[in-house]
Structure formats: C-alpha cells, structure tokens
Amino acid sequence: ELIAYRHGYHGLLTGNSITIGAEERAGAALLHRFGGSPIGNSRVKLTNDDDCRRRGLIGEGQTALEVAATRLQDDGVDVLHTIGGDVTNTAAADLAAYLATRGSELTVVGLPKTIDNDIVPIRQSLGAQTAAQQASRFAQNVLAEHGSNPRMLIVHEVMGRASGWLTAAAARDYMAWHAEQEWLPGIGLDARKWAIHAVYVPELAIDLSAEAARLRKVMDEIGCVNIFLAEGAGIDDIVADLEASGETVGRDPFGHVKIDTINPGRYFADRFSEAIGAEKKMVQKSGYFSRSAPANKTDLILIREMAELAVACALDRTPGVIGHDEGRDGELRAIEFERIAGHKPFDAGQRWFTDLLAGIGQV
C-alpha cells in the first residue's frame, strides 16, 4: 500500500494523507506533463517544536518528532520516501532514529529534490536542470524589455540562497540560446543588447564600485545593462547594511534570512541604477516560474533511475539518500544520512563558468 502525506511533514503531523489507489497508479504517467507538487509541500522543521506549536501542528506538551512517529506507527508505515533537500532528508533520518528508540523499524530512502543543486555530496539533484532551462527561457522574454526605455537596467533574480549553480547554469543556457540567434543590428536587433552583461553568485564577492564603472561603459555604449543575480549573492553585505541602518531582518523557522524581506534584486538595482546612469530599472524573479515547470527529458531520465534504485533500496532495507556520490566517483547509490548536508557551494572556478564570465567581459 502506498500513501502520500499532503504537504510533506505538515500532513504527517496533522494526519492529512491520501491513499494511492488503482486509478492513481494507472494514470501515474500523467504526472510527467505537469510541474509543481501535486501532493504539496511545506516548510516544517520537525526539531522546531515552538514553530510547530505556533502553527497548530502539535499541541502543548508534545514534540513534533513524537507526533510524527506516532502517526507513522498508527498508519503502519515501514518505508518512508522523502523528496526534498538536505533538511527534509536528514529530518527523516532523525525520525527513523527516534522510532528505533520505541522499538519500531522504519527504513527511510530519500530522493534529492532541490533546484539549487546544493546537496553534499550529490552531484545532481532532481529538477535543477529543468529549472536552469526554464530560467533561461524566462530571461529570453524578459530581456526583450531592454528596449522599453532608453538606458534600461534589467536585473533577473534567480533562486539560490547559498549556491550560484542555478544562476550560472541558467546564464550558460541563455548564452547558448543567444549564440544560435540571427540578429539585425541595423534596425535595432542588436546581439549586444540581448546579451548578459553580469552574472553574480554567492561564491564570488561583488565589487560594487568596480562593477559600476564597468557597467557604466556598457550602458553608455549600447544603452542597456542585463544582469543575472543569484538571490544569495552579496547577502551578508546586504544584511549587514540593513542591520547597521537599524532594520530588523526576518528569519524563517530554519534560521535562514527571509530573502523576500530584503529583496536582493531591488537592493542591487537601486545601487547600480544611479551609478550607471540608468533611466529605468526593472527587477524580474524567475524562481516560481522555473521550479513549477514540468521536468525536461534530462530530469525525467534522472528521476527514473533514482526512483528505481530508491524502491530497490527500500525492499532491501537499505536507508540513505539516492544520488550520484561525489565521494565515490559519481556512483549512484544510497548515500549515508550522516554524510548529507546542505549549502554545497558552486565551484565558480570551473572552466565553463570562467569562460562564460570572460565572454561577457566580467573578468
């Protein structure tokens, strides 16, 4: 029997689940046509009892681990497949360990699903390739707005709190698309105006004054500037700047800075705008567009091979998170939970990325 907890740990704590019946099994292939999460997801941390209690997910005197463990036992669950990032999967491992103290055996086999592609030591997470392709597609429309005003500044903000992989991969895909196009500069269809002029990722420091001087020259020459910005780029500097001015920076149940409350795209757009003499600035965020797209062919292949191994590991009672293990020469296996971590930095020294930066004149 298969059951799915609606909205992940939220449904596990509240007892909100659905049974996967014959009709759902027969029509499962339909899921390939849609993006998003049909069963839903949420941001619930099982070790943050105060937050769970505030949200009405557990009662006074209860702990989230206790409530979740009881629910799994009551539902007769002996294999739990978790789909998410490092926090989702390591929380499941904590849950299994807690159940073991109650004499119950639970095999947890996780699948790595985060478009940030920042799970240690997994080479490629599910959905990241699709998201990069979709962020590029988003920009192919948005950057057309460079002609909506003289001296136009466009900031394309891409998801990626701690890793610049998605921003870099999206920029690579976009410039590959750009290289395939035909242009007609005599009538204004100028390749330079459609190009990316800067890519900023958390792994590389941003010298605002030096970049402003470089981008001012671009603006003076072609009349627009297009920037790809990871939402986590320069985040420490932004937070320090805001807190120094007396502002309180909000944080989520995981202790992460709430990106939407500090608005990195707007922050950099404001600072660059005056410095480069922009007459109009525009910030566009591709995150929800990118992560809600149906999986592309590359991801569908990856999903299938990971899911098949996850089932095999579950039947063998082998716990872990499925992925190509960078510590084992890329072997696809169930990686031990204790080795799973988040915020894997993007390697900004890779040849393809340094070539990309060189091609747009950033280095």
- Residues marked active site are found at 116
| Cβ proximity of 280 and 149 under 8 Å | yes
- Tokens representing 165 are 């992989």
Rounded alpha-carbon distances, angstroms, from residue 285 to 82, 160, 242, 274, 345: 28, 12, 21, 21, 21
Name the residue among 193, 162, 180 with its Cα closest to residue 259. Answer: 162
- 159: region left, alpha or beta (phi > 0 left; psi from -120 to 50 alpha): beta
User: At CA 138, angle to CA 135 and CA 140, rounded to 5?
Assistant: 110
Name the residue among 298, 306, 290, 322 with its Cα closest to residue 35. Answer: 290
